[in-house]
Amino acid sequence: MRNTRALVMMLIAVVLAGGAVLVAARWINGQAASTAGTGKVAVALVDIALGSRLNPDMVRLVDWPANAMPPGAISDPKLLASRVTRASLQRGEPLMEGKLAPPGTQGGLSAVVAEGKRAMTVRVNDVVGVAGFALPGNFVDVLVNTQEDGPRHAGMKDASISKIVLERILVLAIAQEAGRDETKPKVVNAVTLELSPQQAERLDLARSVGTLSLVLRNQADPDPVRTDGATKASLLDARLAAVLPAAAPARPAAPARPRPQPAVREPGDMVEVMRGTAVSFERY
């Protein structure tokens, strides 16, 4: 009886050992197959700021699965010589063509400006700069507060108008910082915006004729908004409409009742005349 139990236990142990060997063999074969399907990819060895010029100490080549190769990944170190980053890179992040400026680009903010665009700096304060929440990488609208041209209407002493003149403008830098990794608000005295040549002209004119304000907008909202601008008259009309109760509808006037007309007597008519208790008839 005891020998039978020992034989059963030995048989179970042999079966389990065989299963473990089979699983281990499959795992080793899988690792060998995956290793055979790998390639080299350049990744950031340290955190790299936007607009930085790459050097060999910043990148290294690592093995990367061939079936998960990032699009645009760079595997040749020669292609990274003196390249400039157009975006911030975290340690271990693969370097791709989309995040690098074209070869020959100089470092600094000029490498970040998109093709056909211009960088322009405007002076702001803690209010105009959206209390420091307008950070690099955000989009803003630009408002100008100025005086309307042309003759003023009767009774209007103030021709001020506030109007959105530019929409969805990319903030490239605040003060002298272009990093886009920070989320903490930072009050600065200057903001650099990315503009087309036509937008740069409009912004320069708006800056010379009035005061500017920035309006932070949703990152995923690309739709333009057309407004007529806000004037003092429209502002007061809106305030009065919100404060004053709605006027009661006028009631229709009741039709006038005809007044009784006195009887017209013809000459020769008899009229009854009462004097005390005496009654007489007289002719007119």
45-49, 189-193, 237-241: which range is least confident on average? 237-241
Q: One-letter amino acid identity for 119?
A: A
pLDDT of residue 169: 93
For tokens 């006038």, what's the residue? 256
Does the predicted TM-score (pTM) go above 0.75?
no
Distance in angstroms (rounded) separating the CA atoms of residues 54 and 80: 7
Q: How many CB atoms lie within 10 A of CB 69?
A: 14
The 10s digit of each residue's pLDDT in 73-117 is 888 888 888 888 887 888 889 988 888 888 877 767 777 888 889
Lookup: tokens for 74: 């760079």
Instruction: Check if the beta carbon of residue 85 is closer than 8 Å to that of residue 100.
Output: yes
Instruction: Check if the beta carbon of residue 64 is closer than 8 Å to that of residue 42.
Output: no
* Fold (CATH) for 39-110: Type Iii Antifreeze Protein Isoform Hplc 12 (3.90.1210)
- Could you tell me what percent of the chain has a pLDDT over 90? 12
How do the domains of the chain map onto residue ranges? 39-110, 113-242
Q: One-letter amino acid identity for 51?
A: G
The 10s digit of each residue's pLDDT in 1-33 is 567 777 778 888 888 888 888 888 888 776 665
In whole angstroms, what separates CA 40 from the centre of its chain? 38
Average per-residue pLDDT for the chain: 78
pLDDT of residue 71: 85
Distance in angstroms (rounded) separating the CA atoms of residues 195 and 77: 34
Across 257-263, average pLDDT: 58
pLDDT of residue 154: 47
Distance in angstroms (rounded) separating the CA atoms of residues 158 and 148: 9
For tokens 């009065």, what's the residue? 240
CA angle 77, 42, 97 (to 5 degrees): 85
Q: Which is more confidently placed, 158 or 264?
A: 158
The 10s digit of each residue's pLDDT in 234-256 is 888 765 555 555 555 556 655 65
Residue 203 has pLDDT above 90, yes or no: yes
Instruction: Check if the beta carbon of residue 140 is closer than 8 Å to that of residue 214.
Output: yes
Distance in angstroms (rounded) separating the CA atoms of residues 81 and 53: 9
**Residues belonging to the chain:** 284
For tokens 């959105």, what's the residue? 164
Q: Is 203 exposed, middle or buried (0-12, 13-18, 19+ CB in 10 A)?
A: buried
Task: Assign 262 to helix, strand or coil.
Answer: coil
pLDDT of residue 88: 80
Give the start-end residues of each E strand in 27-177: 38-44, 59-65, 118-123, 139-147, 160-174
For tokens 């995956």, what's the residue? 34
Distance in angstroms (rounded) separating the CA atoms of residues 21 and 179: 53
Across 174-182, average pLDDT: 68
